[in-house]
Structure 1
């Protein structure tokens, strides 16, 4: 059941919001932030697992595009809405919006209908079905032919699990290089996005004398490209995520490096900054939906190679997205520290080109491992081609 953890996470968020709203000491702020982190962990892990449970796998990247759209919009619109409300309504006005969102979230989680709760209807053309003697279908007759009697089936020994298959799912998942690449890409994605939190508002204030409102509006340049996230997800479902993820990090690399050219106050410099941020937003949109969908595909591939049910009734989706949440949280921690420290000691230009270098490095593992090992896929294609020629 996914609803209860979601409601508990929301309760933690409400408590954190109240504490941060009324806090007058550092200790209360720290506890409030910890509760926020717990709530975020619950929402990410359970929410993405719920999505993986519900959405057909061949459409998963498309729906992850909506998740990416919502997540990036929240990250980037937060400073804008906070800046506007703080300027117009004061400190408590910002928190009023938070309480409103929590109330809406509470209603949505209450009305949530999980897939397992949906009524299952089986239309029968020949009339009502006798629950004790259901009509024999083509599938059931085929199964009966394959299994002539129950005793012979029961007498067959159940294959024993190897010692590696007895390990908790989290360990077997971490043994996958494909998953490690997806987690690394998630760390980099979060690092690049979160880095703006510590350096972009300070930079535009120092360079253009922009306040909180102008800085918040500037974040729209990164948000607007994410509107095409569902489209990118759809294309990723159709053609695979390898080239989209690699293209996203490859595009982000020069865009971050070119940010160092913005160094003085002029109209051209402001236009250049906006254009570069738009392309960075587009780059993040190319990679993020397919990377999130990749995690589900990895779990599905792992389940096929293990005995049925070895990952438990609900599978390993929640554990896999728990690892994703850890990776993304690590990136949101590393990004502001990385960018803030480098900007403070070496300047804006150095901070941006190092982020570009990080993005460029990520292209290589994405090309090799997203959608599975490119070497193994090539070997399979060659073997299939040889088989076709032989036949």
Structure 2
């Protein structure tokens, strides 16, 4: 059993206080680049597996689960909604756990277990019940990856949160770009199970990086700073109140009733203790309700609504686009997969949107993205005939939407961390020592999941009852509502230094 003695320590990434020997390659394993790559690969793996089965699902439901052809659209919407429901429920739990655990690597590894279970069930499932269970586990895995991964990126990236979220958006775009193409091509040429062989390969690489990574706060236990104490002593010796060569000030005992520095300090200490005790009580009350403090922020609520709308539009199109082009153009799964290239290829612009939000705030980039998306969505209603012109028009409009949507989403992802920083600047210590980034990005996941529930159901219902043209202007108006909310409640500045006597920005 001794060989398994250090297994929990290895899995969690924490060290033993009794042993001073650091892990091998500590500098590389705790580097910003590796941590960012690990989080982005985790997000890539989760979204890749999600996108891998999007073009395959309409065909798999018929061939694998025996769903009647006239019920395929309904079950696609239901399965997408189930994924989002699991994401909605699991996100705050994963976020709270990440904020209270000593290492964020543990929950990331737990997410891998859920992802492996998902892959197995969807690969070998032959009933609609197993498909439902697989989508539930997939939603739980996504809850962990997004809540914990985004919080870990904020811990690691410092002032470049917007750029970091831009790369997260790129990881998502690459996954959504490659997965449908690979899924459709592999399904057509090698069959259903071969699609999941690809998924197992990506998950295997994900496992390696998650086990290799060491968080920066964990790595600090092996990083020695021997000169810190001596430098502090030297600074005290050369301070203005105690210049070099002077003896320490001593209180005079010749003057009756005179106060010595010791008695003055003691009196001040009594008052400061009273003040600190009172402030600790107030802060304790605030810390017990971090979610209430967050949800009181109009900026945060505006960001969450924008994220809900963005995910609702994206996942809503996922639910109907494949069946729409199959019915209108007679395309197979490979052609459907290639069509998704037009939607997700322009997503590489996301780091620029993140940089703009770091520099100028999230409000204007996000507002511009939502406004520009409105006419694009409405124009999709003109795709109505099986002609080359209409096929080109559809691909062109989807490419434009792929360009504008990252400007809507990426700044809002960064805005969540900006809101927390603003709250901390107004009330230092309001969220305690460990912070609430996990919880905050759990709320982000909840908003994303809520859009994933509303979008597919709305899209499926409108398509069946009123048609494609009605759906496109419905989604256009939905994007316009997000633009209005971001305009009135978004913030112009992401981080402004807050002086003690200066008015603070409303959050």
* Length-normalised TM-score, structure 1: 0.87
Q: Partners of 2:452 and 2:238 in 1: how far apart?
A: 52
Aligned to 1:91: 192
Shift of 1:29: 2.4
Q: Partners of 1:268 and 1:98 in 2: how far apart?
A: 36
Q: Partners of 1:6 and 1:330 in 2: how far apart?
A: 22
Task: Indicate the SS of the match to 1:193.
Answer: helix
Aligned to 2:20: none
Aligned to 1:388: none
Deviations for 1:60-115, whole angstroms, at most 9, x for unmatched residues? 11110001111233234332221111011101111101111110110111111212
**1:252-267 to 2 correspondences below 5 Å:** 252-267=373-388
Q: Partners of 2:294 and 2:365 in 1: how far apart?
A: 23
Aligned to 1:213: 334
**1:128-167 to 2 correspondences below 5 Å:** 129=227, 135-137=233-235, 141=239, 149=265, 152-153=268-269, 155-156=271-272, 157=274, 158=276, 159=279, 160-161=281-282, 165-167=286-288
Task: Indicate the SS of the match to 1:161.
Answer: helix
Q: Partners of 1:333 and 1:54 in 2: how far apart?
A: 31
Shift of 1:230: 1.0
**1:312-391 to 2 correspondences below 5 Å:** 312-371=432-491
Shift of 1:130: 8.2
Alignment counterpart, residue 134 of structure 2, candidates 20, 26, 32: 32
Alignment counterpart, residue 283 of structure 1, candidates 400, 404, 427: 404
**1:26-105 to 2 correspondences below 5 Å:** 26-57=128-159, 59-105=160-206
**1:150-229 to 2 correspondences below 5 Å:** 152-153=268-269, 155-156=271-272, 157=274, 158=276, 159=279, 160-161=281-282, 165-229=286-350
CA RMSD of aligned residues (A): 2.9
Shift of 1:56: 1.6
Unpaired runs of 5+ residues, structure 2, are 1-102, 244-261, 497-501
Verify the 8 A CA contact 2:364 2:492 in the aligned structure 1: no
Verify the 8 A CA contact 1:198 1:336 in the aligned structure 2: yes
Aligned to 1:18: 120
Deviations for 1:296-318, whole angstroms, at most 9, x for unmatched residues? 0001111222242x323220111
Verify the 8 A CA contact 1:222 1:277 in the aligned structure 2: yes
Unpaired runs of 5+ residues, structure 1, are 378-382, 385-391
Aligned residues: 370
Q: Which has the larger radius of gyration?
A: 2
Verify the 8 A CA contact 1:76 1:220 in the aligned structure 2: yes
Aligned to 1:116: 217
Verify the 8 A CA contact 2:177 2:345 in the aligned structure 1: no
Shift of 1:142: 7.8
Q: Partners of 1:3 and 1:15 in 2: how far apart?
A: 19
Deviates more, 1:209-218 or 1:112-121: 112-121
Q: Partners of 1:363 and 1:112 in 2: how far apart?
A: 39
Task: Indicate the SS of the match to 2:434.
Answer: coil
Deviations for 1:219-248, whole angstroms, at most 9, x for unmatched residues? 011111111111221122122221110010
Task: Indicate the SS of the match to 1:113.
Answer: coil
Shift of 1:164: 6.4
Shift of 1:258: 0.3
Aligned to 1:389: none
Task: Indicate the SS of the match to 1:265.
Answer: coil
Compared with structure 1, are the counterparts of its residues 142 and 322 closer, same or farther at alpha carbon in structure 2 (3 Å cutoff)? farther
Aligned to 2:368: 247
Task: Indicate the SS of the match to 1:219.
Answer: helix
Compared with structure 1, are the counterparts of its residues 151 and 41 closer, same or farther at alpha carbon in structure 2 (3 Å cutoff)? farther
